Amino acid sequence: MDSYPAIEDHGLIGDLQTAALVTCDGTVDWFCAPRFDSPSIFAALLDKDKGGYFRIAPHDVRYVTKQLYLPGTPILITRFISADGVAEVMDFMPVTGERATDAHRLVRIVTMVRGSMRFRVECRPRFDYAREEHQVERHRNGYIFRGRTASLTFNPVDPTRRLISEHGDVRLEGGDLVAYGTLNEGDTGGVVLETGATEPRVIPAEEIQGMFEWTRDYWRRWLERSRYTGRWREMVERSAITLKLMTYAPTGAMIAAPTAALPELVGGTRNWDYRYTWVRDTSFSVHALLGLGFTEEVSRYMDWLDERIREAGDLQDPLKIMYRVDGSSDLHEEVLDHLEGYRGSRPVRIGNGAADQLQLDIHGEALYAMHLADEQGIRVSHQVWKSTVRLVDWLCTHWDQADAGIWESRHHPRNYTFGRVMSWVALDRAVRLAMRTGRPGDIAGWTAQRNRIYDQVMARGYDRGRGTFVQAYGETVLDAALLAMPSVGFVTPSDPLWQSTLHAIERELVSDSLVHRYDPVHSPDGLPGHEGTFNMCTFWYVEALARSGRLDDARLTFEKMFTFSNHLGLYAEEIAATGEQIGNYPQAFSHLSLINSALTLNDLLDTEADARRRR
């Protein structure tokens, strides 16, 4: 690869156990297998020279590219347009099912729509984050790339094998494959990369067609379960598909993003591994998925969360903030010094040291999700409820202490207002669940502690000199996480205390409708440098505006955010001052908060329209 593509110049494909990123010029530059959190096979996204990639693109011809998804699916189509002709590369991964497997297929089909083009195909795997040497073996029906701990099978597609032919222009360069082939109008060729296989084979065109049709139909049938019929349907459905792509089917756990170490500031050090399941992120997704009608996905996730609650409750410990998709919690953080990082952004980190932080707010998110699921008939078992009671009892004793906060500060612990608010949510929802279901619990004790938290937040989390709720007790800085206070029911949107906070956030954290998490100059987080605006916070701002009755402002802010998505409707974690997307990509937080904002804003706009008609 000659240079780094923009983060937003990628499409996402996946099979519900792992995923790959494909650039606008036909390069797979990120792919881990057999799971999202497995070592990489292609990682040129983090080092263009050493990371490895798989590229199919026209050779020695000037072209422009266009990219789109096949409607209603994550099947990606990259179009190459030149004076010589038009070609399409179709990329997809057939869904693997709910049983964990090492066998994953990355299908790349090239079709010559018009004219003629010569293509260059480069397959340069670099196993284990480019830490492992490998060899390539030529077989009668294809090639095998063998490393010490992994292998990759290169299977050509019939009937048009001129793209990759054993008698054609194919070179093995060390452990890599470089090939050239010419396609004429109407020709179709391609390759299927397969992990966990041993012997390459020529894959018949009929089998490829079957893979394509099954994958297409699977996703369209899934999307038909959505009951969303409101405004912005296309963006909402694309976000739903993206969240589904980031769900690990064997357990129902949703990762925060399929990438690691993409920078929050290009050239900076805020480069984290997001290929894990945060209790916070996925719990917030419950509202989005239930709002769209995807109760099966919520049920699967709640099963996964129930297991984590049982583990924590049985040990009388707090929940971990994140886990691997299989529920294990060993996320040892290490630095890959041999990789230069995206556009020189070092260090390149894998694992996540924040996993062992104390973040009190996650108990609120977990009980918030449990309460919402219960309202839809997704109820926990007796054993899980017993563990939940122990967890809530633990929180009653431990909520009044400093922690690392929602933004995972690596500075000293603080008494974060948002952490207290979400602890209030945990106790409030526990009380409601116990009363609604008649299950046993210390309702009186929980209620007393819930009320203590409320009184404390009002006394210490609100700065009367500034007239705002603040990030942490005894401080004066703001925090965009407080935008969620009305949606979880801690304050009413019309409360003057909340309205003054919203106005202050607008003055200090909002820039051209985009929202910063906090001001790092006045709120040190233990890390150098700065970051962009945080997409989830912007969507929270949309909801806060809408709930405050400022529907025109909310709609304009919401639709402005669409202009910051990429050409496929995907969002990273943040937006840079230049308007570029930065941070890990695509980001579950961004897409689930888009859906929640759409649900809230659409309902309020409908209510306003009904009121106008009645007048």
Distance of CA 43 to the CA centre of its chain: 18
| Residue of 99, 127, 146 lying closest to 43 (CA atoms) | 127
CB hemisphere CA count around 341 (13 angstroms) = 25
List CB contacts of 219: < 8 A, sequence separation 6 or more: 72, 73, 74, 75, 241
Start and end residues for every CATH 1.50.10.20 domain found in the chain: 477-609
CB 473 within 8 A of CB 461: yes
Q: Cα separation of 454 and 327, whole Å?
A: 33
**42, exposed or middle or buried, with CB in 10 Å at 0-12, 13-18, 19+?**
buried
pLDDT of residue 316: 81
pLDDT of residue 522: 60
List CB contacts of 511: < 8 A, sequence separation 6 or more: 533
Per the DSSP assignment, residues forming a β-bridge with 414 are 403
| Average pLDDT over all residues of the chain | 94
pLDDT of residue 22: 98
**Beta strands 574-575 and 533-534: pairing type?**
antiparallel
**H helices, E strands: number in the chain:** 13, 30
Start and end residues for every CATH 2.70.98 domain found in the chain: 10-198
Strands (E) across 162-305 are located at 169-173, 176-184, 188-195, 247-248, 253-254, 260-263, 271-273, 277-278
pLDDT of residue 170: 87
Q: What share of the chain is helix, strand, coil (3-state, %, to 5)?
A: 35, 25, 40
pLDDT of residue 463: 97
Per the DSSP assignment, residues forming a β-bridge with 182 are 118
Count CB atoms within 10 A of the CB of residue 486.
21
Q: Which CATH number among 1.10.630.10, 1.20.1740.10, 3.90.1150.10, 1.50.10.20 corresponds to the domain 477-609?
A: 1.50.10.20
pLDDT of residue 526: 56
Q: Which CATH number among 2.70.98, 1.20.140, 2.60.40, 1.10.510 corresponds to the domain 10-198?
A: 2.70.98
Q: Cα separation of 519 and 167, whole Å?
A: 61
What SS3 class is residue 496?
helix
- Residue ranges of the chain with per-residue pLDDT less than 70: 1-2, 159-162, 165-168, 520-529
pLDDT of residue 49: 97
List CB contacts of 30: < 8 A, sequence separation 6 or more: 10, 20, 21, 40, 42, 43, 44, 45, 46, 258, 259
Q: What is the pTM of this model?
A: 0.97
**285, exposed or middle or buried, with CB in 10 Å at 0-12, 13-18, 19+?**
buried
Helix (H) or strand (E) holding 601: helix 588-614
Q: Cα separation of 484 and 111, whole Å?
A: 48
Count CB atoms within 10 A of the CB of residue 615.
5
